[in-house]
Amino acid sequence: MMRVTDTMLWDLSRKHLVRAQARMFAATERVASGRKLDKPSDAPADTAHLRSIDASLARLRSGEVGASRAELQLRGSETVLGDIGTLVGRARELAITGADGGQSAASRGAMAIEVAALRDQIRALSNAKVGGVYVFGGFKTAAPPFLADGTYLGDDGRREVEALPGLRVTANVSGRQAFTAAGGVDLFGVLTQLETDLSANDQAAVAARLDDLTTASRQVLAQRVLAGGQLLRIESAGAVRADSIVRLEETRSGLRDVDVPGAITEMAQAQNALRLALQTASQILEMTRAA
C-alpha cells in the first residue's frame, strides 16, 4: 500500500487550490470582458476566421463611405440636370412661339434676350460644384468644365467607387454627353444659334432649331436617368451591405463573445470548486493537527 505522507496531502491540496483559483480567474475574466476570444491562444483555429471576418467588415464599412460620397454627387447632379431640363424646356417653348408666323420682330427680339439669359443660367449650372467637386467635368474635378463660349474642358472620366465588395458604381454622369455634340447636339451652340435666329427675326430658322432642342432635352434627360440609375444601385447596395454587416457581426460575435448564461454557470461551478478545495485544505489542517 502506498504511504501517504503529510507533504503529499499538502501538495495535493495546494495543487487543487491553485487550479481552482486559476479556473475561477479565467471564468471571472470571461464574464467580465464578455469575450471568449480575446487573444489568439484562446482559440487559435478561430483567430484566422475572425481576421477574415474583421477584414470583410472593414471592407463593407469602407464601401459605405465611398457610396455616401458618390450618392451626394449623384443627387446634386440629378437636381442640376432636372433644373437644366426645365430651362431647356423653356427655351423650346420660346422656339415654338418664335416659330409662329404671328410673332413680331420686337417680340422675337425679347425672346432672344430671354434665350441668352437661359443659356447663361444653363452654363452656370453645368459648372455646378457638389461636395467640392465640379461634377460634370469627368476626372477634371478641380476646374469649371465649361468656358463662357461653351468649350468643354472636361473628359469622359467615369469616377468609380466600390459600393459593395465587387460592385462598383459611377459617382458622376458625363457632362460631355449631356451638353456637347458628343451626346447629340451642342446645347450651348444650339441656344446661341436660337438667340441669333430670334434676333434676326428669321422664323424659318427658329423653326429649324426645334428638333435640336428636342434632342438636347433628351440628352440632358438621359444623363439624369443614368444618375438616378446609379442612385438606385447605391441604395440597393446599401441594403445588401446592412444585411451583410448584421450577418457578419453575428458570426463574429459567435466566435468572439461569450455565451453569457453559460459563462455565468461556469463561474458558479468554478466558485463551487474553489470552495470545496478550500474546505479540503482546512480539513487536512484539522487532521494533521489532531495527529
Residues that bind other proteins (CB under 8 A): 2-8, 10-12, 15, 37-45, 47-52, 54-55, 57-59, 61-63, 65-66, 69-70, 131-133, 137-142, 155, 157, 159-162, 165, 168, 171, 256, 288, 291
Least Å distance between CB 49 and other proteins?
A: 8
Q: Closer to other proteins at the Cβ: 7 or 104? A: 7
Task: Name the DSSP class of 260.
Answer: H
Quote the CA–CA distance of 266 and 263 in Å, as a whole number: 5
If the CB atoms of residues 82 and 157 are measured against other proteins, the closer one turns out to be: 157
> Is the CB of 59 or the CB of 218 nearer to other proteins?
59
The CA distance from 265 to 78, in Å, is 59
DSSP state of 2: -
The grid coordinates listed for 60 are 463593407
What's the min distance (Å) between Cβ of 133 and other proteins?
Answer: 7
Residues 13-37 as b or e (16 or more Cβ within 10 Å = b): beebbeebeebbeebeebeeeeebb
CB of 20 to other proteins, least distance (A): 14
Residue 160: strand pairing partners: 170
Rounded to the nearest whole angstrom, what is the least distance from the CB of residue 166 to other proteins in the complex? Answer: 9
Q: How many CB atoms lie within 10 A of CB 250?
A: 10
Q: Which helix (H) or strand (E) holds 196?
A: helix 187-199
Looking at beta carbons only, is 161 or 213 nearer to other proteins? 161
Instruction: For other proteins, give the closer residue by CB, 172 or 219.
Output: 172
Q: Shortest gap between Cβ of 145 and other proteins (angstroms)?
A: 11
